[in-house]
Amino acid sequence: MARPDKAAAVAELTDKFRSSNAAVLTEYRGLTVAQLKTLRRSLGENAQYAVVKNTLTKIAANEAGITLDDQLFAGPTAVAFVTGDPVESAKGLRDFAKENPNLVIKGGVLEGKALSADEIKKLADLESREVLLSKLAGAFKAKQSQAASVFQALPSKLVRTVDALRAKQDEQGGAE
């Protein structure tokens, strides 16, 4: 029978997997406590970085309906549970790993879909949600301006055409 403390740990990890938008599994072997503290700060406010037991984490992921490769659970493991923008946290992990090669990104999960380490690095290369939304808003605004110009041009073109027809009729009427 499972010990109550382990059952509670599995339940807590299961809740974290379910309530997170993303989770990134890392190997932290060789990092100091100070470096881990710096890493936690670099992830942003919407991420929680926790050192976990592999067996309990695997059980919790399965209970949350997430299937992860067994290779992700080799060696000491820590998980970054992301409740906000996953791009911001992925960038924090990537940048920290560049400065501290002891941090190895193993893989993770994004909205229930398993991701490889390379896919997480690609996610880190994306622009943040706010930047993408502002670009989208700018594109919509540009299209509205173009539409307004087209709608404004039609009546003025019509007026010029009518004036040209009148002038032509006046010339033809005066020539007869």
Distances in Å between the alpha carbon of 102 and those of 43, 51, 140?
17, 15, 44
Between 151 and 98, the higher pLDDT residue: 98
Is the separation of the CB atoms in 23 and 113 below 8 Å? no
Which conformational region is residue 21 in: left (phi greater than 0), alpha (psi within -120 to 50 degrees), or beta? alpha
User: Of 109, 6, 105, 108, whose CA–CA distance to 59 is shortest?
Assistant: 6
Q: What is the mean pLDDT of residues 1-23?
A: 83
Confidence band for 20, pLDDT divided at 50, 70 and 90 = confident
The span from the CA of 143 to the CA of 135, in Å, is: 12
Mean pLDDT of the chain: 82
Tokens of 117: 């380490």
Query: H-type helices in the chain, by residue range?
Result: 4-19, 33-42, 54-63, 86-99, 117-125, 129-175
Distances in Å between the alpha carbon of 68 and those of 106, 111, 115?
11, 13, 9
User: Of 3, 13, 34, whose CA–CA distance to 77 is shortest?
Assistant: 13
Which conformational region is residue 137 in: left (phi greater than 0), alpha (psi within -120 to 50 degrees), or beta? alpha
Q: pLDDT by residue (tens digit) across 128-152? A: 667 767 877 777 776 776 767 777 7
The span from the CA of 159 to the CA of 164, in Å, is: 9
